[in-house]
Amino acid sequence: MRAEYPPELAEAIESLGLEKYARHILLCADQTDPQCSPRDESIASWEFLKRRLKELNLVGPRPLVYRSKVNCLRVCTRGPIAVVYPDGVWYHSCTPDVLEQIIQRHLINGEPVPEYAFAFNAAGQAPRGQANF
């Protein structure tokens, strides 16, 4: 049974496909105080990601992928940094060339890109060697 939401939230759910996408990529870009990569490089990566996901029909009301630009993912080295959920795979050096690999191999085919992945923490899983009780 689905909860009733205020009309503006119900519209956002439907228009953005919030309950339909398979993966969510968050990209550190356009930072207030750039530390992991130059601001122009992170913006170029963000613009590429937006354009490429649209070209491949992976976004919209029936999306496979949801994307978010975030100010900082707090890694602050070897950026731009991205993380893909629910898989919890963190990527470094997310230039347009690297993002193309992430899009094709991970976002579409579900296979992480080990050459650029540097941390793993899938949603709902305990950190390595620990249990959450």
DSSP structure class, residue 128: T
The count of residues in the chain is 133
Instruction: Enumerate the β-bridge partners of residue 133.
Output: none
Amino acid 1: pLDDT? 44
Amino acid 103: pLDDT? 98
Span 48-73, pLDDT tens digits: 999 999 999 998 777 899 999 999 89
Q: What percent of the chain has pLDDT over 70?
A: 89
Average pLDDT over residues 73-99: 95
Rounded CA separation 40/59 (Å):
24
Rounded CA separation 90/24 (Å):
12
**Which two three-digit tokens encode residue 73?**
């993912």
Dihedral sign, Cα of residue 46, residue 49, residue 51, residue 57: negative
Average pLDDT over residues 88-113: 97
**Band (107; pLDDT cuts 50, 70, 90):** very high
Whole-structure pTM value: 0.85
DSSP structure class, residue 25: E
Span 8-51, pLDDT tens digits: 999 998 888 888 899 999 999 988 888 889 899 999 999 999 99
